Amino acid sequence: MSGWLTRTKQWIGSTLQLPDDLLLDLPRVTWIGSFLLHIENHKGLVKVEKKCISVRVYDGMIEINGDLLHIQSMVADELVIKGDIAQVEYIQQQGGEKK
């Protein structure tokens, strides 16, 4: 998606007072304490390991580091990750593609 389209969408969103995640297909991440992470609007899994889980999102990846991680459920656009979550990293890639 080119830059101007994104900007236009952002402008429409701000004018109509719509949440950005709906309009731009962006993920919404809810982190509860250190043990539960709720990711909406994900695009799939990239890596599943005990210490690291990578989730594909619209414009990049979300990498979760921690210990004893596991995915409780993956239903449609929702993902619930459990475990001792130490770090959540948003790795942005332009257009959702790897550089």
For other proteins, the binding residues (CB under 8 A) are: 43-50, 56, 70-76
Cβ-proximal residues to 25 (8 Å cutoff; 6+ apart), any chain: 41, 58
SS3 3: helix
Task: Give the integer Cα–Cα distance in Å for 62 and 89.
Answer: 6
Contact 69, 53 (CB under 8 A): yes
Minimum distance between the CB of residue 17 and other proteins, rounded to whole angstroms? Answer: 30
Considering beta carbons, is residue 23 or 52 the nearer one to other proteins?
Answer: 52
Minimum distance between the CB of residue 19 and other proteins, rounded to whole angstroms? Answer: 23
Tally of CB atoms within 10 A around 55: 25
Minimum distance between the CB of residue 50 and other proteins, rounded to whole angstroms? Answer: 6
Residue the block writes with tokens 């309009």 = 23
Considering beta carbons, is residue 16 or 75 the nearer one to other proteins?
Answer: 75
Considering beta carbons, is residue 24 or 53 the nearer one to other proteins?
Answer: 53
Considering beta carbons, is residue 32 or 45 the nearer one to other proteins?
Answer: 45
